[in-house]
């Protein structure tokens, strides 16, 4: 019997070990996976835009130089490359290139002075427009101006550093797969914070090793794949969809029970949109359970009550037993 139980125990351990899923010790390497595109969107400006994508749609371009009478090949500067698939799955996919860029770009070779073209920022289109009023872009802008990004690098930093206008897509609000949304959103931060060559373009600071900086965090890989960087690194604001007030590192959340508690801040950030739905199975913050599990935040009220009843009953029986023992002893002596 004992040997059988022991073997059963060993088998159970292996069962647990072999049905593995590997959530993300390689989370940084996988960051680009979230950007893969499967869009079937057909733009009414497709043929117009294709004139641009012909050269700007990939890192290498070629054209026939008619005055030289030969084909010229070259590498496109990475900042000028816009992948067609990514563009047509982005928020701005219904635009033509010349909605934002000068009509003059239709001519090739492009005029040199076009390099001085003033680029739009978010508020140029989204600010003061009743159509976008519910997203409170002005408040987002105000938060951004209080954020550490703006304070440290107000000259170099713009909305575009995080929200590439050619590829950015809203994710968490419409997410059907929270894990890939988290991966996508975190890849925005990691574009600079895990790539020193990009980080250097905006900051004189030494390279930051994020893995080492988060050494204090238990189950680091699990946290990195189940919450966004901004959960801890921004200040919650219920008025806007996603907080933009990136805090200095000293003010980032470090108290575990900010999330691991019954009034978990995750319900006001990552699960803000899902939290409007209900789950009626007794779990506190049960909506988190659709995609994750957070110790301390996902207590079950029924189990809590049951355990309390059992505990009280056991203590009650013991107290009654003690009373009978005392009465018996009193009778004996």
Partner 1 sequence: MYLYPKWIRAWHLINAIMFLILIITGISMQYTDKGNPAYVVGFAKAVKWHNFAALVLIINYIFFVTGNILTNNGRFYRLGEKGFLSNLQKQMRYYSWGMFKGEKHPFPVTEERKFNPLQKFSYVLVMYIAFPLLIISGIGLLLPEITITTFFGISGLILTDILHITMGFCLSIFLIIHVYTCTLGARPTSLFWGMISGYHRED
**Do 24 and 221 form a contact (C-beta atoms < 8 A)?**
yes
Report the nearest approach of partner 1 to the CB of residue 312 (Å).
11
Phi, psi at 239, each rounded to 5°: -80, -25
**Do 105 and 98 form a contact (C-beta atoms < 8 A)?**
yes
Any contact of residue 25 with partner 1 (CB under 8 A)?
A: yes
Q: Which stretch binds partner 1 (CB under 8 A): 1-9, 48-56, 161-169, 245-253?
A: 1-9
Any contact of residue 272 with partner 1 (CB under 8 A)?
A: no
DSSP bridge pairs for 246: 234
Which residue in 269, 292, 275 sits closest to 178, CA to CA? 292
Which residue in 232, 228, 144 sits closest to 186, CA to CA? 228
Which residue's CB is nearer to partner 1, number 108 or number 324?
324
Any contact of residue 333 with partner 1 (CB under 8 A)?
A: no
Report the nearest approach of partner 1 to the CB of residue 50 (Å).
42
Any contact of residue 21 with partner 1 (CB under 8 A)?
A: yes
Any contact of residue 255 with partner 1 (CB under 8 A)?
A: yes
d(CA 72, CA 65): 6
Binding mask 191-230 for partner 1 (x = CB under 8 A): ---------------------------xx-xx--------
Which residue's CB is nearer to partner 1, number 13 or number 72?
13
Which residue's CB is nearer to partner 1, number 72 or number 295?
295
Single out the residue of 139, 248, 263, 309 in contact with partner 1 (rule: CB under 8 A).
Answer: 263
Give the contacts of 277 (CB within 8 A, at least 6 positions apart).
287
Any contact of residue 176 with partner 1 (CB under 8 A)?
A: no
d(CA 134, CA 140): 11
Which residue's CB is nearer to partner 1, number 133 or number 323?
323
Any contact of residue 256 with partner 1 (CB under 8 A)?
A: yes
Give the contacts of 31 (CB within 8 A, at least 6 positions apart).
183, 186, 187, 190, 194
Q: Write the DSSP assignment of 209-274 as a string of letters.
A: -HHHHTTTSTTHHHHHHHS-HHHHHB---TTSSS---BPPGGGS---GGGTSSTT-GGGGTTTTTG
Any contact of residue 9 with partner 1 (CB under 8 A)?
A: yes
Any contact of residue 295 with partner 1 (CB under 8 A)?
A: yes
| CB neighbours of residue 231 within 10 Å | 22
Any contact of residue 318 with partner 1 (CB under 8 A)?
A: yes
| CB neighbours of residue 267 within 10 Å | 19
Q: Write the DSSP assignment of 133-167 as a string of letters.
A: GGG-HHHHHHHHHHSHHHHH-TTT--GGGTS-TTT
Any contact of residue 257 with partner 1 (CB under 8 A)?
A: yes
Any contact of residue 13 with partner 1 (CB under 8 A)?
A: yes
Any contact of residue 260 with partner 1 (CB under 8 A)?
A: yes
Residues near partner 1, by CB under 8 A: 1-2, 5-6, 8-9, 12-13, 16-17, 19-25, 218-219, 221-222, 255-258, 260-263, 289, 292-293, 295-296, 298-300, 303, 307, 310-311, 314-315, 318, 321, 324-325, 327-328, 332
């Amino acid at each position: 019997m004992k040997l059988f139980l022991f073997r059963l125990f060993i088998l159970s351990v292996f069962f647990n070990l072999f049905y593995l899923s590997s959530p993300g010790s390689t989370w940084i390497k996988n960051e680009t996976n979230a950007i893969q595109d499967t869009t079937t969107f057909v733009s009414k400006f497709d043929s117009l835009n294709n004139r641009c994508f012909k050269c700007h749609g990939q890192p290498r371009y070629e054209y026939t130089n008619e005055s030289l009478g030969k084909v010229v090949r070259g590498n496109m500067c990475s900042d000028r490359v816009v992948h067609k698939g990514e563009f047509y799955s982005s928020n701005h996919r219904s635009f033509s290139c010349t909605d934002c860029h000068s009509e003059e770009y239709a001519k090739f070779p492009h005029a040199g002075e076009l390099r001085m073209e003033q680029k739009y920022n978010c508020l140029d289109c989204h600010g003061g427009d009743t159509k976008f009023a519910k997203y409170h872009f002005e408040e987002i802008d105000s938060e951004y101006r209080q954020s550490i990004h703006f304070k440290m690098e107000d000259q170099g930093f713009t909305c575009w550093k995080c929200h590439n206008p050619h590829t950015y897509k809203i994710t968490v609000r419409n997410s059907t797969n929270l894990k890939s949304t988290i991966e996508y959103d975190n890849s925005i931060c990691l574009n600079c914070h895990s790539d020193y060559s990009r980080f250097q373009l905006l900051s004189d600071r030494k390279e930051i090793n994020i893995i080492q900086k988060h050494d204090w965090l238990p189950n680091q890989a699990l946290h990195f794949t189940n919450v966004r960087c901004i959960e801890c690194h921004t200040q919650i604001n219920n008025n806007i969809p996603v907080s933009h007030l990136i805090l200095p590192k000293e003010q980032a959340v470090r108290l575990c029970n900010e999330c691991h508690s019954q009034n978990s801040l995750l319900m006001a950030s990552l699960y803000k949109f899902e939290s409007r739905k209900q789950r009626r199975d007794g779990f506190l913050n049960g909506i988190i359970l659709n995609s994750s599990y957070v110790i301390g935040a996902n207590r079950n009220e029924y189990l809590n009550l049951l355990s309390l009843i059992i505990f009280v009953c056991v203590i009650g029986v013991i107290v009654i037993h003690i009373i009978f023992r005392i009465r018996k002893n009193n009778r004996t002596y």
